[in-house]
Amino acid sequence: DAMVIQNPRYQVTQFGKPVTLSCSQTLNHNVMYWYQQKSSQAPKLLFHYYDKDFNNEADTPDNFQSRRPNTSFCFLDIRSPGLGDAAMYLCATSSDGGGAEEKLFFGSGTQLSVL
Amino acid sequence: RKEVEQDPGPFNVPEGATVAFNCTYSNSASQSFFWYRQDCRKEPKLLMSVYSSGNEDGRFTAQLNRASQYISLLIRDSKLSDSATYLCVVYGGGFKTIFGAGTRLFVKA
């Protein structure tokens, strides 16, 4: 009965080969987020969707794109992965995104390796 | 200066010990505050929200000091299962939830 589901759990790609990570949710939450977390570092917000509105963080590289075809699904596309993109990618949701109680529900993450 | 700062640790404590973590944040307009727990190679999970009045959940007590812009987490009677990384999290509005890098806790038998 997982509520935020990420696939795959582990992803290996080659340097420069496009890769897509997927996230789905059964919570019917308005907001979906993608975070990047490197070892021993804080999760770093890449972008978020409020419904269909896409919001990019200013320092998110152009190499990272996202799609949200419907409420339940969100994808992270890395167009040309570099070695520095190896990380855990975390998808999260929240119900409103604008209230004081901004609780996030995370998927189990996708650990990306770049060879 | 980082927006949310924590002592990375690690804190190595014996079972039954009391341990406290602090966290500071830079944005005085921050609206809400949380502690998340993250196990190795797993996703962060909400541990508790943090209020100015302080809040307690079993062995865990969280406190917020807005004037000094710091948040604390106290764990009493530590268990082996408390071993994890504890992330201080600050919500500043505008969908911006900022995570600290975490404090690592190891509880030893």
pLDDT digits (tens, 9 = 90+) for A71-111: 999 999 999 999 999 999 999 999 875 555 668 899 999 99
SS3 A110: strand
Q: In this structure, which amino acid lies at residue A91?
A: C
Q: What counts of helices (H) and strands (E) characterise chain B?
A: 0, 11
Q: How large is the average pLDDT for residues A59-81?
A: 95
Whether chain A has a CB inside 8 Å of the CB on B92: the answer is: no
- Lowest pLDDT segment from A10-24, A62-76, B40-54: B40-54
Report cis status (omega within 30 of 0) of the bond before A43.
no
C-alpha span between A36 and A92 (Å, rounded) = 11
From residue B83, alpha-carbon distances to A92, B12, B14 in Å are 23, 9, 11
* Optimal mutation site among A38, A45, A91, A103, interface B, most CBs of chain B within 10 A: A103
Question: In this predicted model, which residue has the larger pLDDT, A100 or A53?
Answer: A53
SS3 B81: helix
Q: Tell me if B40 sits within 8 A of B51, measured CB to CB.
A: no
Mean per-residue pLDDT over chain B, rounded: 93
Q: How large is the average pLDDT for residues A54-78?
A: 94
pLDDT at B93 over 90: no
The answer to whether B44 contacts A90, with C-beta atoms less than 8 Å apart, is yes
Query: For residue A100, what pLDDT is reported?
Result: 54
pLDDT at B9 over 60: yes
pLDDT at B108 over 60: yes
Query: For residue A101, what pLDDT is reported?
Result: 62
pLDDT at B65 over 60: yes
Strand order in the sheet with A19-25: A4-7, A19-25, A73-78, A64-67
- pLDDT bin (cut points 50, 70, 90) of residue A69 is very high
The answer to whether B46 contacts A97, with C-beta atoms less than 8 Å apart, is no
> For chain A, how many residues are written?
115
The answer to whether B95 contacts A98, with C-beta atoms less than 8 Å apart, is yes
The sign of the torsion formed by the CA atoms of B51, B56, B59, B63 equals: positive
Query: For residue A87, what pLDDT is reported?
Result: 97
Cβ-based burial of B75 (10 A; exposed 0-12, middle 13-18, buried ≥19): buried
Query: For residue B97, what pLDDT is reported?
Result: 87
- pLDDT bin (cut points 50, 70, 90) of residue B52 is confident
A49 beta partners = A32, A54
